[in-house]
């Protein structure tokens, strides 16, 4: 069983809202993903600098200390992380925010509140594309 768990894709969740983070963890773990949760931009920045790259990053835009756009730039600057798919979540749902997220290097963008099954479908698609 430990080998099976180790081979499960790791999703890095960067979300400062505890309730949303718990919902995301529950949804992802039920689908067989391993989850690392970080609650702010400073913790995420340190993790990006020191840890192995995950299969996917699911990240809020508005975070304490460093926002999601700054974190995307850090991810894309690391050679061993720059191909990691990034799915950004935000309560802001203007076209300008979507364009900014995609231009910053995010692979996809989902507005809150999100539909759980649609979010999971996007997660699966991004992880499959990266694995291919």
CA dihedral in degrees (50, 51, 52, 55; nearest 10)? -130
Regarding predicted confidence, which is higher, 9 or 3?
A: 9
**How many Cβ atoms are within 10 Å of 72's Cβ, its own excluded?**
23
Nearest residue to 33 via CA among 126, 132, 98? 126
Helix (H) or strand (E) holding 110: strand 108-111
Q: Is 16 exposed, middle or buried (0-12, 13-18, 19+ CB in 10 A)?
A: middle
DSSP classification of residue 34: E
Average model confidence (pLDDT) for the chain?
A: 92
CA distance 67 to 89: 12
Residue identified by tokens 């756009």 is 69
Catalogue all structural domains in the chain, each as residue range(s) with its CATH number. 2-131 (3.40.50.2300)
| For residue 5, pLDDT beyond 70 | no
CB 69 within 8 A of CB 14: no
- What 3-state DSSP class applies to 37? strand
Report residue 1's pLDDT band, with 50, 70 and 90 as the boundaries. very low
**Least confident residue range of 95-104, 110-119, 122-131:** 95-104
């Amino acid at each position: 069983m430990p080998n099976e768990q180790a081979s499960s894709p790791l999703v890095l969740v960067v979300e400062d809202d505890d309730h949303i983070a718990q919902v995301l963890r529950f949804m992802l773990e039920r689908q067989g993903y391993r989850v690392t949760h970080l609650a702010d931009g400073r913790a995420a920045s340190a993790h990006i600098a020191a840890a192995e790259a995950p299969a996917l990053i699911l990240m809020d835009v508005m975070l304490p200390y460093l926002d999601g756009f700054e974190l995307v730039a850090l991810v894309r600057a690391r050679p061993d992380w720059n191909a990691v798919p990034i799915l950004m979540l935000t309560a802001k749902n203007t076209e300008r925010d979507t364009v900014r997220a995609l231009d910053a290097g995010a692979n996809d963008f989902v507005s809150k509140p999100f539909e759980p099954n649609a979010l999971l479908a996007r997660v699966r698609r991004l992880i499959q594309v990266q694995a291919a």
